[in-house]
């Protein structure tokens, strides 16, 4: 306490602060949002009430994302778990990517899932998405049960030895189990938010 | 919700993507980053120690990353390989700089030129002409977009140039935590159970500027860093949280204190604090 008291009475020289983010945590109720997809249709998270939902943050210009799309990581997961009733929603909070740019990416990659356009970054900030990719899993009760990286292979050098955290977590959720690795440090490019 | 200025940004993105550079050479160039094999000695003597590493030349406005890149990005990686009998030490990282990556997401790394190197112990018995150095190097370079780069470098040790950057390199390394020239005394309050760790630095001479670079394990999340210096006392607060289900050390938090002196020179000191205790003032 002595330290604190003295600290308060001495004149200020320098203050450097990194602002706090809003954000969500594992165990929180996933906040609802509404965004337009690449066809201009409004999509809300609440449309999928009762379902397991994966949120993926996307920026097609990020090399980490490019590698995963070249390898088909997201598409394979979305297809495989889609057959088990899991909903895959991709959110693009990149400030310069509008509906047309996202539609072009969806078409060129023949994606079976929706890309939601978040140019304002509002939903990205709501979830405190920091990287592309940044992954979130919401269980059927609307609770966030996984937040973090897609896998443990940021350099893409592990091949078949990589652990896909999202697949492992989805298997556990679908089996009615608690997610063992519920949080990891996401890797990738920073989300290119609107300034 | 944070306030933001609604500025419409038009970005022209030059998409370069993943650029693996495979070369049997001492240097590689992906237009954003040049990587050279460098040493601090031309001749190797049996039983001697030399420094061997990579000099990165980063294009203006771009940066590469420190061992803890911040909340986005990727640490620069070097895998240095020498013949059997050579002892390659851990990679030594000069004091980084801090930058804001996007709307407040902090990042730590290097701009301009930086050398990342290891101390290499030469064996007593060595065939000097047959010593070949191999290095696998990878980096993420970012400006408005990011570019992944990698290269395989290979060269006889005798052909690796002695780099003048090593003359200043020693001084760019952070000092160890037990250094007797540490210009501050450190105590901490808070801890993991409090959700906040506070470093208190008491200075003999008030510093011009103080920066803090956390270096947590991947099991820890550090957020909302506040650094305030008032007279001879600096207070550094950071939110700290253990990630659920992630293996890794959560009982200690290593970091760097970087001080800018009156001469404008930045100097770093390694510190490490105990996160397991809480709310007690702990002095080092």
Which tens digits make up the pLDDT trace of A95-132?
999 999 999 999 999 999 999 999 999 999 999 999 99
Which residues from chain A sit within 8 angstroms of residue B140, using beta carbons?
A: 63, 189
Q: Pick the residue of B18, B77, B104, B262 with the most A CBs within 10 A to test the interface with A by mutation.
A: B104
Tell me the mean pLDDT in the region B118-142. 90
From B231's Cα to the closest Cα of chain A, the distance in A is 6
How far apart are the two ends of chain B, measured CA to CA in Å? 38
pLDDT for residue A4 is more than 50: no
pLDDT for residue B19 is more than 50: no
| Binary contact (B71, A15; C-beta < 8 A) | no
Length of chain B: 284
User: Cβ distance B246 to A28 under 8 Å?
Assistant: no
Tell me the mean pLDDT in the region B84-94. 96
Q: How confident is the model at residue B42 (pLDDT cuts 50, 70, 90)?
A: low
What pLDDT is stored for residue B15 in this prediction? Answer: 29
Q: What is the DSSP letter of B175?
A: B
pLDDT above 70 covers what percent of chain B?
A: 86
Q: Which residue has the higher pLDDT, B160 or A152?
A: A152
Tell me the mean pLDDT in the region A72-96. 98
Cis peptide preceding A133, ω within 30 of 0:
yes
What pLDDT is stored for residue B2 in this prediction? Answer: 34
Which residues from chain A sit within 8 angstroms of residue B1, using beta carbons?
A: 22, 125
pLDDT above 90 covers what percent of chain A?
A: 86
A183's CB contacts (< 8 A; 6+ apart) are A26, A146, A147, A148, B221, B243, B244, B245, B246
Taking a contact as any Cβ pair under 8 Å apart, which residues of chain A between 82 and 111 contact chain B? Answer: 95-96
| Binary contact (A190, B13; C-beta < 8 A) | no
Q: How confident is the model at residue B17 (pLDDT cuts 50, 70, 90)?
A: very low
User: Which of A15, A18, A189 is facing B142, going by the closest CB pair?
Assistant: A189
Lowest mean pLDDT among A154-163, B122-131, B203-212, B213-222: B122-131
Q: Which residue has the higher pLDDT, B13 or B47?
A: B47
H helix or E strand, kind and range, residue B170: helix B166-172
Nearest CA in chain B to A125: B1
| Binary contact (B142, A10; C-beta < 8 A) | no
User: Which of A62, A180, A195 is facing B7, going by the closest CB pair?
Assistant: A195
| Binary contact (A189, B221; C-beta < 8 A) | no
Q: How confident is the model at residue B18 (pLDDT cuts 50, 70, 90)?
A: very low
| Binary contact (B146, A67; C-beta < 8 A) | no
- Only one residue has tokens 């253990």, namely B242
What pLDDT is stored for residue A22 in this prediction? Answer: 54
Taking a contact as any Cβ pair under 8 Å apart, which residues of chain A between 24 and 63 contact chain B? Answer: 26, 61-63
What pLDDT is stored for residue B273 in this prediction? Answer: 95
Please tell me if residue A5 touches chain B, with a CB cutoff of 8 Å: no
Maximum CA extent, chain B: 67
What pLDDT is stored for residue B20 in this prediction? Answer: 36
pLDDT for residue A174 is more than 90: yes
């Amino acid at each position: 306490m002595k330290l604190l008291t003295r600290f308060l009475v001495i004149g200020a020289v320098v203050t450097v602060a990194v602002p706090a983010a809003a954000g969500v945590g594992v165990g929180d109720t996933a906040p609802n949002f509404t965004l337009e997809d690449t066809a201009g249709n409004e999509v809300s998270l609440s449309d999928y009430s009762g379902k397991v939902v994966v949120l993926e943050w996307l920026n097609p210009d990020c090399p980490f994302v490019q590698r995963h799309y070249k390898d088909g990581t997201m598409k394979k997961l979305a297809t495989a778990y889609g057959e088990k009733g899991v909903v895959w929603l991709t959110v693009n909070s990149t400030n310069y990517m509008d509906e047309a740019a996202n539609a072009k990416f969806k078409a060129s990659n023949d994606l079976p899932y929706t890309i939601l356009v978040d140019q304002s970054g509002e939903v990205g900030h709501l979830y405190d998405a920091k990287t592309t990719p940044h992954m979130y899993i919401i269980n059927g009760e609307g609770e966030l049960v996984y937040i973090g990286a897609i896998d443990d292979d940021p350099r893409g050098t592990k091949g078949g030895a990589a652990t896909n955290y999202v697949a492992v977590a989805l298997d556990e959720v679908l089996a009615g189990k608690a997610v063992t690795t519920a949080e990891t440090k996401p890797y990738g490019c920073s989300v290119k938010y609107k300034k | 919700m944070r306030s933001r200025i609604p500025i419409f940004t038009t970005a022209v993105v030059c998409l370069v993507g993943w650029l693996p550079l495979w070369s049997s050479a001492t240097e590689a160039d992906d237009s954003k980053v040049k990587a050279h094999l460098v040493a601090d000695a031309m001749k190797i003597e049996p039983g001697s120690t030399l420094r061997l590493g990579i000099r990165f030349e980063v294009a203006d406005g771009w940066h590469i990353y420190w061992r803890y890149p911040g909340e986005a990005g990727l640490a620069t990686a070097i895998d240095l390989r020498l013949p059997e009998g050579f002892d390659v030490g851990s990679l030594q990282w000069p004091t980084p700089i801090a930058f804001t990556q996007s709307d407040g997401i902090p990042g730590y790394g290097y701009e301009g030129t930086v050398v990342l190197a290891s101390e290499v112990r030469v064996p007593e018995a060595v065939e000097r002409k047959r010593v070949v150095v191999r290095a696998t190097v990878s980096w993420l370079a970012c400006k408005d977009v990011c570019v992944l780069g990698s290269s395989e470098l290979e060269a006889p040790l005798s052909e690796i140039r002695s780099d003048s950057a090593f003359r200043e390199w020693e001084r760019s390394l952070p000092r160890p935590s037990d250094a007797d020239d540490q210009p501050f005394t450190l105590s901490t309050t808070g801890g993991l159970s409090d959700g906040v760790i506070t470093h208190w630095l008491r200075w003999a001479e008030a510093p011009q500027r103080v920066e803090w670079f956390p270096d947590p394990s991947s099991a820890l999340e550090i957020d909302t860093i506040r650094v305030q210096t008032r007279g001879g006392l600096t207070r550094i607060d950071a939110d700290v949280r253990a990630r659920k289900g992630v293996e890794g050390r959560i009982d200690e938090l290593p970091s760097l204190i970087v001080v800018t002196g009156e001469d404008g020179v930045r100097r770093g000191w390694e510190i490490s604090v105990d996160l397991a205790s809480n709310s007690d003032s702990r002095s080092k």
